[in-house]
Structure 1
Amino acid sequence: MVTDLFGYQLLQLGELGSDTAYLAQCPVRNKTLISHRPDAGHPEVIVGASQLLPITADSIDAMILVHTLDFSPDPHQVLREVERVLIPEGRVIVIGFNPYSLWGLWRLFGRWRGSLPWCGNFLSYPRMNDWLTLLGFGVERMDVMEFRPPTKSNRFESIERVGRRVWPMLAGIYVVRAVKRVSRITPVGQRWSRLRVLGPRAIEPHAPAPGHSAMDWPPMEDEPRKRGFG
């Protein structure tokens, strides 16, 4: 999903230990990592919170969220920040764990240990798609993987092949790519005449001068203020 991304700035959010070799296939010129903790082995990494990115608005061409939402205390705020920093027609790739899978079942028994990844809050991709749609994104592509149980055994290769064709909703991991849509409709507002703010004497009521009617009488600036009008 990264081979046809384009632009000048790509931003990846996630743990520093995640594999970034696939970024070599991405043609985007500058690639930056953001993590919530520093790492001596990655001095070029920006340390910052994903809920409040230290990035100016409309400045990033593409973003990759490597299980960022699974371990964020406020995943919806993270997506709002993604929408803020992406340029119009910018792309975001979200990698997440599916709670309705064997991985999600494993999480029910291993969460109490507090170990990764079972301590995270797995978000289903139907909910992910709903959040992206509410923020104005359009889902372009989606892929799934890991139908087997979360073990190191290689005896479940057949389950992986069959699962992609038969029950993709039960995959352990999903990848969603979406584009930031911008409305092309220009709202037409009602035309208002310019409001002129006048001094207090200009709106004070006066009585018409003798010999003049109320229709042709102009207010006199030097006329004394009448009692009863503050």
Structure 2
Amino acid sequence: MNLEPEQASPLSQLEGWFRSPLGEEVARLESEAVQRLLANTFGYYLVQVGATDSFSEALASSRIRHRIQLPIEPSSVREPASIVGLPDQLPLASDSIDAALLPHTLDFANDPRMVLGEVERVLIPEGRVIVIGFNALSAWGLRRAVWRSKQRMPWCGRFFLAPRVEGWLGELGFDIEVREALVFCPPIDSLRGRRCARMERLGKRLWPMLGAVYVIRAVKRVVTLTPIKPARAKPSALLAGGAVRPTTRGTGHA
């Protein structure tokens, strides 16, 4: 049963905001970053948890064979390869996914760390996760802090610092591979085009920590046990006269 509009979750509302003039610009920059970070990622299954439409082209260019969208509401299913589930209770088998994309999923999750724990569970060893989120230390974060009406999108989300998210990933055994900063323009619809393009170039070079959006790619590391070499046979294992005691090792029989 589909949720009514007033009951729609924040992640569902985010999809509509991405179609606004300001949201379209943010989605464009994020989609370009996702495409770059997926360029050298391979595998069979990639799952996107949350907003679905804005990253379709970036996922289509991925070398991962099967791309699955996991919206959290039936009403937002628009692609054939879609399943519905909660971000903190993924309906996926453990160690079954090669890559996961979380576009602002943590910003609107009740328990971001539980979401990351579920992603760690379903990823195979050496699997990748790409996390996109709004940066609290930015002009966008400042507007959220001082603006009284926090019910509007995207200000109703929880803005985190990128190092904090990286800390959560590290606790789960992930290694951070890449972090990018995006969207250095203030959140004003009129500031677009060439002026914003110039600010993007300067921001990445001069003040990368102040980007309104962070994009993190991390890899799931699994500690492997070092095999212990078998001990050499003791002298007592040899029979009198130099004959060797029979053994079944290596014969293929129990």
Q: Into which bin does the TM-score normalised by the smaller protein fall?
A: 0.7 to 0.9
Structure whose residues are more often helix by fraction: 2
Q: Do structure 1's residue 137 and structure 2's residue 180 form an aligned pair?
A: no
Q: Give 2:201's aligned amino acid.
A: R
Q: Where in structure 1 do 4 or more consecutive aligned residues deviate above 4 Å?
A: none
1:111 to 1:45, Cα distance in 2 relative to 1, 3 A: farther
Report the CA distance between 1:111 and its aligned residue.
6.0
Query: Are the counterparts in 2 of residues 111 and 119 from structure 1 also a CA contact under 8 Å?
Result: no
Q: Give 2:42's aligned amino acid.
A: F
- Please, which of 147, 158, 162 is the counterpart of residue 202 of structure 2? 162
Higher-Rg structure is: 1
- Please, which of 69, 89, 92 is the counterpart of residue 106 of structure 2? 69
The number of residue pairs the alignment matches comes to 188
- Please, which of 169, 173, 181 is the counterpart of residue 213 of structure 2? 173
Find the aligned partners of 1:118 and 1:31 in 2 and give their Cα distance: 29
Q: Do structure 1's residue 94 and structure 2's residue 131 form an aligned pair?
A: yes
Report the CA distance between 1:131 and its aligned residue.
0.6
Find the aligned partners of 1:27 and 1:146 in 2 and give their Cα distance: 27
Percentage identity across aligned positions?
Answer: 48
**1:16-43 deviation per Cα after TM superposition (whole angstroms, max 9, x unaligned):** 3433211122100000011110135335
Query: Are the counterparts in 1 of residues 69 and 79 from structure 2 also a CA contact under 8 Å?
Result: no
Find the aligned partners of 1:20 and 1:121 in 2 and give their Cα distance: 25
- After TM superposition, the structure 1 stretch with the greater mean CA deviation from structure 2, 149-158 or 29-38, is 149-158
Find the aligned partners of 2:112 and 2:148 in 1 and give their Cα distance: 19
1:110 to 1:42, Cα distance in 2 relative to 1, 3 A: farther
> Structure 2 length as normaliser, TM-score?
0.70
Report the CA distance between 1:183 and its aligned residue.
0.6
1:168 to 1:40, Cα distance in 2 relative to 1, 3 A: closer
Find the aligned partners of 2:59 and 2:148 in 1 and give their Cα distance: 31
> Structure 1 length as normaliser, TM-score?
0.77
**1:142-183 deviation per Cα after TM superposition (whole angstroms, max 9, x unaligned):** 111111101222233322211111111111001100000011
- After TM superposition, the structure 1 stretch with the greater mean CA deviation from structure 2, 37-46 or 21-30, is 37-46
CA RMSD of aligned residues (A): 1.7
Report the CA distance between 1:110 and its aligned residue.
3.9
